[in-house]
Structure 1
Amino acid sequence: MSRPKPDDYFKDWKEREALAESMIPMIGTLNRENNVSVYVYGKPLVNRSVIDIMKAHRFVRQVESNELSEFETFPIVEALTKLDLGHAHIDVGQLAVRFMEEGNGADVLDFVKANVEGAIDSTDKPLAEPQDVVLYGFGRIGRLVARLLIEKAGSGDVLRLRAIVVRKGKAESDLVKRASLLRRDSIHGSFKGTIRVDEENDTLVLNGNEVKIIYANSPSEVDYTAHGIHNAIVVDNTGVWRDEAGLSQHLECPGAAKVILTAPGKGDIKNVVYGINNNVITPDDKILSAASCTTNAITPVLKALMDEYGVEHGHVETVHAYTNDQNLIDNYHKGDRRGRGAAMNMVITETGAAKAVAKALPELKGKLTGNAIRVPTPNVSMAILNLNLGKETTTEELNEYMRETALHSPLRQQIDFTNSPEVVSTDFVGSRHACVFDSRATIVDGNNAVLYCWYDNEFGYSCQVVRCLEDMCGVSYKMFP
């Protein structure tokens, strides 16, 4: 599919810019009033700027080799606003392409009706009642999960961030400090919205959502019901407790019902990589782990390869951004090498991600080894998969398979795809996928393959955590097409 080359690029841009600008209030209304989230090939359009919307359209050209533009998607969005829709996720990019390929002169509204029929006049809700969520800890992952929960609040009848539990800091204006760290982020930019600080009531008002700040040194000091919070899911971002005995402390707090850990769980705790083994989540589960950022990054790609080619054995090398666990400058550290200055050194360290894959994909148990190199960048990491496949292929065939997987398979939320020869790590800050497959770096020789996968080890992982959180409390959206 291709559009005629415009005679006047500037005029074409202005016309498309006007269409994108006109979409914004329609997309916003669909989200606020109907809890409908709108996408273009997996790129969210809710609360996005004109330029963000235009860039989402441009992305399609890179991966689909077509010229999808606002001229094609605007009529689809406009048609959606004329329907009485219930909760749903709708990809207007894929609907537009389908209309161009299959519409055969049909009326746009009639076509859209037929393709989102299951959402029309639907009174089904993802949840019978809003689900209270508590963040225990407010570090890098905690603040990003908070941003995501506020962004996804929609009409307020799904997940509601009700409280954040932290230890009292040394600063006199602790709440102001907490708000400032949420408001401004050196890597991820400013908070998308407004933050009101209510020091008298220890409350942050985030885009109208009242979030109680509870000061406590341990779970035993917390009573959520005292703050009107009931049946809450506690997201433990601290990593202090990783086994069932430690995490069960949260369940003893009045008002808490379940716990999800944002780190690899130990013992019999289920380690869940959303999109791969989230089917193991049951209503009876009280404690779950969302595994690690690296495990989330490599498992979807390994699953895709295993399904198509088989994986005999392999090695995973993680080139990982430094983290708070390392020292800023040389100082004592209990771990080998990690005491050396993080911003000055490449640091060889271990990773359990390769072995942890087997918790989500038992077929790969004992087939993978792994190591990690911490490098002087603050965010975005890369996993290099050196694999012996079950059958021979070529670079072109493998890349095309991964492109199709990223765009059209059930793993499209987990795997993104790039074929740009110029991308570097900072280009993937803010990626909402578990990983981005870099097709230009692929090396294949018979059944030996070396694959490169970027991942935002902070934000991409936080998105996976929120997906697990939604699954844990039973949120299920109808998805179209």
Structure 2
Amino acid sequence: MAASEFAAHRDAWVQREELAESLIPLIGRLYRDHGVVTSVHGHRLINLSATGVIAVHDRARELGHAELTLRQSEVVLRALAEIQPAPASVDIARLALSLAEAGEAVDVREHIRRILSEPTMPASTAGSTDVVLYGFGRIGRLLARILIGQAGNGYGLRLRAIVVRRGSENDLAKRASLLARDSVHGPFAGSVTVDAANDVLIANGTRIQVIYSDDPAGIDYTAYGIHDALVVDNTGRWRDEEGLSRHLLSTGVARVLLTAPGKSPLKNIVHGINDDTITPDDRILSAASCTTNAITPVLKAIDEAFGVARGHVETVHSFTNDQNLTDNFHKGDRRGRSAVLNMVITETGAAKAVAKALPALAGKLTGSSIRVPTPDVSLAILNLTLTRPVTKVEVNDYLRQVSLHSELRQQIDYVESPEVVSTDFVGSHRAGIVDGLATIADDVNLILYVWYDNEFGYSSQVVRVLERMTGTHPVVIPTRAQLTHSVAAL
């Protein structure tokens, strides 16, 4: 490459960096002052660096979207800043596309104002809701990270407290360190400090009361200024209505969400599938399992388009904390053998659990699981028999469009790369990611490979359920298309 060509490429990159840097204050002000969460085809822009903003724009093009330039994003962001909309989740890429389709003569602000007035999802009137995390393990700490990251505008879900059993004299410092440092997900984006005198963690300005208790029924949350709280039980200790209802005996608790499969008659909620069945009378709910959240949206999309006659789900799942590091006694079959040295065949209820959220597939699925020596990101292999013949191209094109444009675009992602491996999906906020190159289609037989971050992707789904329970999910702009059998219609 000639020196002049190299300089030209470098100058072009610097110009993009400068423009991206100028967008960051707009993104921040819209979020902090107006509760507007901006994204590019579902990928959030909040708290990104300049290079992060550029990467999101470039990734959209790689996934098959029409090119979105930083300049187009700037036009939309500046118009939104002038309009000062109510809290909303705004996809600026889709707004920019609608502007391009409308032509150069269109008045940008009036065009965006018209779209802002169109959403069918009602804007939230709930204000904010106190959230308590009961248990502070892998999922609890990731939920804390997400909730803290979304606390900048003081709207919606407010993390107020965590409840744990005291583990040592320096328990508070250890909890702070575990929140600040994570071997899988990296350092916390910000600062975590301790107010030891008051048993409080302070993360990016959010004060989180640490309450030491081993009795879910014996806490007076109002003593800490917490009222009508939604308690998220991350312990898995109680999975039935009787056990979880003990939380409701504590003063200041309104509702409970379990981050594990719940036993009947509890509703098992998979956001994007059956969250519309949540009513104000549902005081105790389950967010199902990570695997159920990963596979149910994909199964729904396939069943509605091609029909699922029957199938088997095999999950290749990262080891979890309930396994032993070295061989030792375990009440569960095979789980006593070393998790870091072995593949371990184990049971999974995910296939049967799908029917709790998606009754159309009741009795059609079997499932099993293999635990493998990786700390995070799992893989579900869906071996399906369909009701009509399909081709690989047909299925992949459909799932790609579903991931980009349908009402399931928060749940389903799609990737087509010969180089991706499990660690590439650490931190994915989607419930599952279809690996298009691995798809096998032969007449009515279809095999799909679905990656999922069984920690962060699941935690993102849990937060969506919390927002649905509390009515704090911002209105979505533009409105997402409903799932349809027609690829062309998507």
Say yes or no: TM over 0.5: yes
Shift of 1:109: 3.2
Question: Is residue 19 from structure 1 mapped to residue 46 from structure 2 by the alignment?
Answer: no
Distance between the aligned counterparts of 2:433 and 2:58, measured in 1?
Answer: 17
- Give the equivalent residue in structure 2 for 1:439: 436
Shift of 1:71: 2.6
- Give the equivalent residue in structure 2 for 1:93: 93
- Give the equivalent residue in structure 1 for 2:72: 72
The answer to whether the 8 A contact 2:217-2:248 is kept is no
Instruction: State which drifts further: 230-239 or 192-201.
Output: 192-201
Matches within 5 A, 1:369-408: 369-408=366-405
- Give the equivalent residue in structure 2 for 1:233: 230
CA deviation digits over 1:107-130, x for unaligned, max 9? Answer: 4334333332459xxxx9624342
CA deviation digits over 1:1-52, x for unaligned, max 9? Answer: xxxx999332222221111111111100000000000000000001111121
- Give the equivalent residue in structure 2 for 1:254: 251
- Give the equivalent residue in structure 1 for 2:488: none
Query: What's the TM-score, normalizing by structure 1?
Result: 0.95
Distance between the aligned counterparts of 1:118 and 1:196, measured in 2?
Answer: 43
Shift of 1:105: 3.8
CA deviation digits over 1:385-442, x for unaligned, max 9? Answer: 0000111111001100001100100000000111111111000000000001111111
Aligned counterpart for 1:158 among listed residues 156, 159, 169: 156
Distance between the aligned counterparts of 2:242 and 2:101, measured in 1?
Answer: 56
Distance between the aligned counterparts of 1:390 and 1:206, measured in 2?
Answer: 52
Question: Is residue 322 from structure 1 mapped to residue 322 from structure 2 by the alignment?
Answer: no
Question: Is residue 84 from structure 1 mapped to residue 90 from structure 2 by the alignment?
Answer: no
Shift of 1:99: 2.1
The answer to whether the 8 A contact 2:324-2:338 is kept is yes
- Give the equivalent residue in structure 1 for 2:31: 31
Question: Is residue 143 from structure 1 mapped to residue 141 from structure 2 by the alignment?
Answer: yes
The answer to whether the 8 A contact 2:268-2:287 is kept is yes
Question: Is residue 359 from structure 1 mapped to residue 356 from structure 2 by the alignment?
Answer: yes
Q: Secondary structure at the match of 1:219?
A: coil
Distance between the aligned counterparts of 1:413 and 1:65, measured in 2?
Answer: 16
One-letter amino acid of the structure 2 residue matched with residue 379 of structure 1? D
Count, aligned residues: 472
Q: Secondary structure at the match of 1:165?
A: strand
CA deviation digits over 1:180-199, x for unaligned, max 9? Answer: 00000011111112212000
Shift of 1:81: 1.1
Matches within 5 A, 1:68-467: 68-117=68-117, 126-170=124-168, 172-467=169-464
Residues 310 and 118 (structure 1), Cα distance of their counterparts in 2 relative to 1, 3 Å cut? closer
Distance between the aligned counterparts of 1:477 and 1:224, measured in 2?
Answer: 27
Instruction: Give structure 2 stretches of 5+ with no counterpart.
Output: 479-490
Shift of 1:308: 0.4
Distance between the aligned counterparts of 1:164 and 1:89, measured in 2?
Answer: 28
The answer to whether the 8 A contact 2:464-2:473 is kept is no
Distance between the aligned counterparts of 1:65 and 1:31, measured in 2?
Answer: 25
Distance between the aligned counterparts of 1:372 and 1:406, measured in 2?
Answer: 26
- Give the equivalent residue in structure 1 for 2:55: 55
Residues 435 and 6 (structure 1), Cα distance of their counterparts in 2 relative to 1, 3 Å cut? farther
Q: Secondary structure at the match of 1:318?
A: strand
Residues 118 and 32 (structure 1), Cα distance of their counterparts in 2 relative to 1, 3 Å cut? farther
One-letter amino acid of the structure 1 residue matched with residue 58 of structure 2? R
- Give the equivalent residue in structure 1 for 2:475: 478
The answer to whether the 8 A contact 1:36-1:89 is kept is yes
Q: Secondary structure at the match of 1:56?
A: helix
The answer to whether the 8 A contact 2:156-2:473 is kept is no
Distance between the aligned counterparts of 1:65 and 1:255, measured in 2?
Answer: 47
CA deviation digits over 1:279-301, x for unaligned, max 9? Answer: 11000111000000000000000
Shift of 1:65: 5.1
Q: Secondary structure at the match of 2:158?
A: strand
- Give the equivalent residue in structure 1 for 2:487: none
Residues 458 and 24 (structure 1), Cα distance of their counterparts in 2 relative to 1, 3 Å cut? same
Distance between the aligned counterparts of 2:126 and 2:359, measured in 1?
Answer: 35
Instruction: State which drifts further: 83-92 or 56-65.
Output: 56-65
One-letter amino acid of the structure 1 residue matched with residue 167 of structure 2? G
Shift of 1:223: 1.1
Q: Secondary structure at the match of 2:460?
A: helix
Q: Secondary structure at the match of 1:220?
A: coil
CA deviation digits over 1:345-397, x for unaligned, max 9? Answer: 11111100000000011111110010001111000000000000111111001
The answer to whether the 8 A contact 2:126-2:470 is kept is no
Q: Secondary structure at the match of 1:452?
A: strand
Q: Secondary structure at the match of 1:64?
A: coil
The answer to whether the 8 A contact 1:62-1:419 is kept is no
Q: Secondary structure at the match of 2:223?
A: helix
Identity of aligned residues (%): 57
One-letter amino acid of the structure 2 residue matched with residue 29 of structure 1? R
Distance between the aligned counterparts of 1:9 and 1:439, measured in 2?
Answer: 33
CA deviation digits over 1:177-231, x for unaligned, max 9? Answer: 0000000001111111221200000011121111110000111331111111111
Q: Secondary structure at the match of 2:161?
A: strand
The answer to whether the 8 A contact 1:272-1:288 is kept is yes
The answer to whether the 8 A contact 1:16-1:69 is kept is no
